[in-house]
Amino acid sequence: MSDLTLDAQALYTDLLQGVRMLCRADTRLVGITSGGAWLAQRLQTELGLPGTCGTISSAMHRDDFAQRGLGGGGRTQLPFEINGAHVLVVDDVLYTGRTLRAVMNELFDYGRPASVKLAVLVDRGGRELPIQPDFAAARVSLPSTQSLALARADDGSLRFDLKTKPLRAE
């Protein structure tokens, strides 16, 4: 375990301010399952945006689909027209960029947006693809042996779970 301490609630406040700056009057929020979807729902309400935010899953377009399968990745639900929309994708943690690449493929299966921006709670570096957020509430560096995920309590409060992956025996 690392000494890293991230206050998810405080970072959410920063994310709210950053998303407010990125939003246009007609921006549509889309949260990546599951942490990003929680954030998008809360942002939608607190920003007073009209309509309902969308939820998007990366499961069908992942480059490791053969190993992972569908899993518990949730379903894509986009309750608005994607063609011509200004979409703001929200996620909890950006790491290699592979989930976002899969999400972009899924999004374009539904139409051609006018623009797509990305806001994340935490950018942990380690990119394997040329993808960068338009806004990140925090930037941290973690070894590849650690994973960081957003967790939500029954009362809606947010926290981070930091786990160390077991080393594989060679």
CATH code for the domain in which residue 155 is found: 3.40.50.2020
Measured distance CA(168)–CA(117) in Å, rounded: 37
Q: What is the mean pLDDT of residues 146-167?
A: 88
Chain mean pLDDT for the chain: 90
In a domain, 76, yes or no: no
Residue 55, SS3 per DSSP = strand
In a domain, residue 69? The reply is no
User: Does residue 1 surpass a pLDDT of 50?
Assistant: no
In this prediction, residue 2 carries a pLDDT of 46
Average of per-residue pLDDT across 34-62: 93
> Is 72 contained in some domain?
no
Q: How many domains does the chain have?
A: 1
Question: Residue 69: its pLDDT value, please?
Answer: 53
Would you say residue 33 lies in a domain?
Answer: yes
User: Residue 67 falls within a domain, yes or no?
Assistant: no
Position 41 in a domain? yes
State yes or no: pLDDT of 67 exceeds 80: no
Determine the Cα–Cα distance for residues 100 and 98; give it in Å rounded to an integer: 5
Domain range holding 90?
A: 8-62+81-164
Region 69-93 average pLDDT: 88
Do residues 94 and 126 lie in contact, with contact meaning Cβ atoms separated by under 8 Å? no
Vertex 90: Cα angle to 7 and 32 (nearest 5): 105
Mean pLDDT of 109-118: 98
* Position 113 in a domain: yes
Distance CA 89, CA 103 (A): 9
Question: How remote is the C-alpha of 128 from its chain's centroid?
Answer: 17
If we measure between CA atoms, which residue out of 136, 160, 163 comes closest to residue 6?
160
Note if the bond before 57 is cis, omega within 30 degrees. no
